[in-house]
Amino acid sequence: MSSAARKKVGVLISGRGSNLQALLAAGAEPDFPAEIVLVVSSKPDAQGLARAARAGVATRVVPRRDFARREDCDAAMTAALEEAGVELVCMAGFMRLLSAAFVAHWRDRLINVHPSLLPLFPGLDTHARALAAGVKLHGCTVHFVRLEMDSGPIVGQAAVPVLPGDTEDALAARVLAAEHRLYPHCLRLVAGGRVKVVDEMAAIAEPGADAGARILNPAP
């Protein structure tokens, strides 16, 4: 696929960037419909910045403390993203609430990965809460971002079993591995124009696919 036909993607991070790495790897594939052109971090010491640098991707650091208002910080992020020609934005471990103006500006062009099967367990400590609830399946969700935290039309989900004797760390590692598969797959769908938001639900063009009994849904 020619670079001109690929969607330009910006990734927002705050930490180690393991999901960023999965997106970078996918973007390096010649047939992937998106390329990562900018990584924006809320923290100057985020490990994900080094991952981006190794991949030859431009980076920017936009700390909240440098701005009087959250809206001003988010406006600076939007300016950096648009200067780089970004068309889609992925949140990958971005640990800061976004302003209403930012969410509205990037509406239906901003996606996030969350470590639970939404609408179950929004917010923090999802793995501990899943274990405490006694659920038999846990997982992750990629969704379009809305102002309410961890809400918005769901693009895809991946489920993992909760095993007898699971610890929070063991379950978290299993879910993270699923995130690394799901997020690039969902970005492929969105960047490839196969997802349309209709009545606050993500409709996916998936010709010939059987939606029965999947662990990764939609299936690759």
**CB of 162 closer than 8 Å to CB of 135:** yes
Q: How far from the centroid of its chain's Cα atoms is residue 72's Cα?
A: 23
- Do the bridges between strand 137-144 and strand 154-161 make them parallel or antiparallel, or are there none, so unpaired? antiparallel
Query: What does the alpha-carbon distance between residue 5 and residue 89 come to, in Å, rounded to a whole number?
Result: 17
Element (H, E) at 202: strand 201-204
Q: Which residues of 83-122 are buried (b: 16+ CB within 10 A; e: fewer)?
A: ebebbbbbbbbbebebbeebbebbebbbbbbbbbbbeebe
Q: What positions carry a catalytic annotation?
A: 114
